[in-house]
Amino acid sequence: MYSVAVIIFSPLVGRALTTVGRKVILVGGLFSMGISMIGFGAADLSPNRITFGILVFFFRFCQGASSCAIQTTSYAVISMSFPQEQEKYIALMQTAIGSGLILGPVMGTFLYAIFGFSGTFFLIGVVFIFLTFSLSFLIPQSIDKKDDVETPIERRMSRYEENVMVHTAEKISFCKLITTMRFTLGGMAGMMAVFMLCYMEPVLAFRLEEFKIDAFYIGTFFSIQPISYVILSFTITWFTDIFANRGLLMAGAFLSGISMFLVGPSHYLPNDLNLMGVGQLCIGAFGLFLMVPAIPEMINAASEIYPKRIIEITDMSAGVFNCCLGIGMVVAPIYGSNFTTLYDFRNCSDVVGCVLLAYCLIYFILGGGFSLLKAGCKEKVKAEVDVIREDPSRNMSMRNRLFSNMSHDENYDIDTWKLLNSEQLIVEEVDKEG
Q: What is the pLDDT of residues 38-58, one digit of tens each?
A: 999 999 888 899 999 999 999
**What is the value of pTM for the model shown?**
0.72
Q: Which amino acid is at 140?
A: P
CA dist., res. 86 & res. 320, Å (int)? 17
In a domain, 392, yes or no: no
- Residue 362 pLDDT greater than 60, yes or no: yes
pLDDT at site 377? 61
Q: What is the pLDDT of residues 401-428, one digit of tens each?
A: 333 333 333 343 444 444 545 555 555 5
CA dist., res. 397 & res. 402, Å (int)? 9
> Cα dist. 303→48, 260, 326, 389 in Å?
53, 34, 24, 12
In a domain, 82, yes or no: yes
CA dist., res. 254 & res. 196, Å (int)? 12
In a domain, 152, yes or no: no
Nearest to 24 by CA among 130, 132, 96: 132
CA dist., res. 97 & res. 92, Å (int)? 9
271: left (phi over 0), alpha (psi -120 to 50) or beta: beta
pLDDT at site 430? 55
Collapsed DSSP state (helix, strand, coil) of residue 181: helix
Collapsed DSSP state (helix, strand, coil) of residue 126: helix
In a domain, 374, yes or no: yes
Question: Is 370 buried (19+), middle (13-18) or exposed (0-12) by CB count in 10 A?
Answer: exposed
Q: Which amino acid is at 409?
A: D
Contact 365, 283 (CB under 8 A): no
Q: What is the mean pLDDT of residues 119-145?
A: 87
> Cα dist. 338→192, 263, 344, 353 in Å?
18, 18, 10, 17
- Residue 330 pLDDT greater than 50, yes or no: yes
Percent of the chain with pLDDT over 70: 80
Q: What is the mean pLDDT of residues 349-368?
A: 92
CA dist., res. 353 & res. 199, Å (int)? 12
Q: How many domains, in total, are found in the chain?
A: 1
CA dist., res. 303 & res. 297, Å (int)? 10
In a domain, 406, yes or no: no
Contact 195, 328 (CB under 8 A): yes
Q: What is the mean pLDDT of residues 8-35?
A: 88
The residue range of the domain holding 360 is 2-145+180-386
| Average pLDDT along the chain | 79
- Residue 354 pLDDT greater than 80, yes or no: yes
Q: What is the mean pLDDT of residues 226-230?
A: 83
CA dist., res. 20 & res. 365, Å (int)? 39
Split at pLDDT 50, 70, 90, the class of 391 is very low
Collapsed DSSP state (helix, strand, coil) of residue 277: helix
Give the count of beta carbons closer than 10 Å to the beta carbon of residue 378.
11
In a domain, 34, yes or no: yes
CA dist., res. 378 & res. 429, Å (int)? 45
DSSP string, 232-292: HHTTHHHHHHHS-HHHHHHHHHHHHHHHHHHHTT-TTS---HHHHHHHHHHHHHHHHHHHT
CA dist., res. 40 & res. 29, Å (int)? 16
Q: How many residues does the chain have?
A: 434
Split at pLDDT 50, 70, 90, the class of 223 is confident
- Residue 373 pLDDT greater than 80, yes or no: no
- Residue 338 pLDDT greater than 80, yes or no: yes
Q: How many CA atoms lie within 13 A of 103 on its CB side?
A: 7
pLDDT at site 385? 43
Q: What CATH number is attached to the domain comprising 280? A: 1.20.1250.20
Nearest to 387 by CA among 79, 57, 132: 79
In a domain, 18, yes or no: yes
In a domain, 207, yes or no: yes
